[in-house]
Homo-oligomer: A and B are copies of this chain.
Amino acid sequence: MPLRLDSRDAGFAAAFDALVDARREADEDVSRAVTAIRADVRARGDAALAELTRRFDGHDLDVTGWQVPKAERQAALAGLAPDLRAALELAAERIRAYHAAQRPADSETVDAAGVRMGARWRGVDAAGLYVPGGRAAYPSSVLMNAIPARVAGVGRLAMVTPTPKGETNPLVLAAAEIAGVDEVWRVGGAQAVAALAYGTDRIAPVDVVVGPGNAWVAEAKRQLYGVVGIDMVAGPSEIVVVADGANDPAWIAADLLSQAEHDPTSQSILFTDDAAFADAVAAEVERQLGTLATGATASASWAANGAIILVGDLLESAPLIDRLAPEHLELALADPEPLFAAVRHAGSVFLGRYTPEAVGDYVGGPNHVLPTGRRARFSSGLSVLDFMKRTSFLACDAASIARIGPAAVALAEAEGLPAHARSVAVRL
């Protein structure tokens, strides 16, 4: 049974605090294990990768091959069922259009003092894309990670993905072809992230590593932040659904389960102002759980992390939602705008009764790689900006430095930096 709270109950504040605080950090065991793997890949390169792949993925890279050859990726695309290929291509086109609009413009201005200044954006030279294997081998992830990189103008795109027992996923390979990935390496886990960051004899280093993964992958990215750029530290997926009693309980139950089926650690939370509707959704969740192939996972997630929160007025839920800062926020209301305007912290918002979060996972256009674990308070979903960097610039001439330079000299002297002062003063 999921947690059930009522915001008008006496114990609500404490119980809600506990719900917020429950979404916390990587455990120390994972951190230590990742530190060891990272050091091993850095020291021994490909030999470490081969050994760790044998141990964790159960295949020998020298037998299965280190990369998935271009021909195999092309064959995967050619072999796709026509409706699936059309679906992937529609998704790619919509994702590309949304992200193309994100490309920042260079800027340049000359101000009143005659100083020219601005900023110039460039794509990074190389990016690495992590794509989970096994249960979470999602072609949609390939599109969501690779397309923004291509739109950013990244020179080289290297994908890493574990292929347990050596088995590749044709749908993932087809998506990589559609998105324009350059290299597909059969490595996964923390070792793959380390290989991308440090480089090995076979895998050239990249500048940015993105993509979702399990706790080891997330911790490896966190540890390697600074050696490379990363998108964000990703944790278990989450959704908050705000729904009034005019919704079909079966729709809302399906939405909650679409998050719960990802993983037992996923979290689905319903906010409603209608106790009878809450009961109806809870009953629908139980009914649908029995019909889902992913029922065991969804059931575990719903029981451990699910919550139904009854509030007096849905608009009141805005500060509570901000505390949770959910990855996904669905506002299943006839007019979602007032609540949308009141919420400050959410990764991505799905507005109205006809926008289930799952449509955004695939074909909406906005990115589905989003901040989890309350990080929407300070971070954003994956975007073209994650694959670009900005160089600022400044140009004075003799006249303009004469105007602004004396202030720089005064400040440099006050800060006890005489060479700073001199380098300006000699030009005045």
Contact = CB atoms under 8 A, between A and B. Distances in A.
Given A349-B393, A411-B139, A419-B298, A378 B101 contact: no
Given A294-B417, A391-B346, A419-B294, A119 B254 contact: no
B396 A359 contact: yes
Contact of A407 (B87, B227, B349, B390): B87
A418 B292 contact: yes
A23 interface: no
A394 B366 CA distance: 8
B91 A424 contact: no
A126 B325 CA distance: 14
B417 A258 contact: yes
Chain B CB within 10 Å, residue with most, of A88, A125, A391, A421: A391
Counting every copy of the chain, the complex holds 2
A227 B392 CA distance: 28
A74 to B, nearest CB: 19
A202 interface: no
A124 B378 contact: yes
A406 B349 CA distance: 21
A87 B411 contact: yes
A380 B389 contact: yes
B109 A391 contact: no
A115 B408 contact: no
Interface in A328-374: 336, 340, 344-367, 371
Contacts of A54: none
A392 B401 contact: no
Main secondary structure, interface of A, reads mixed
Contacts of A417: 258, 261-262, 294, 358
A255 B422 CA distance: 8
A395 B109 contact: no
B288 A422 contact: yes
Contacts of A423: 251, 254-255, 257-258, 356-358
Interface string A94-108: 100110011000010
A41 interface: no
A410 interface: yes
B410 A84 contact: yes
Contacts of A376: 389, 391
A117 B366 contact: yes
A91 B258 CA distance: 52
A276 interface: no
Contacts of A358: 408, 412, 417, 419-421, 423-424
Nearest to A113: B94
Interface string A135-147: 1011110000000
A410 to B, nearest CB: 4
24 contacts: A25-B226, A87-B411, A94-B404, A101-B109, A111-B365, A122-B345, A139-B411, A222-B226, A226-B232, A250-B426, A254-B419, A254-B426, A257-B422, A261-B418, A348-B391, A348-B394, A350-B395, A355-B394, A356-B427, A359-B401, A359-B424, A362-B412, A363-B405, A365-B394
What are the 7 A-B residue pairs with the smallest beta carbon separation, nearest first? A366-B392, A229-B378, A87-B407, A351-B395, A226-B233, A257-B419, A254-B423
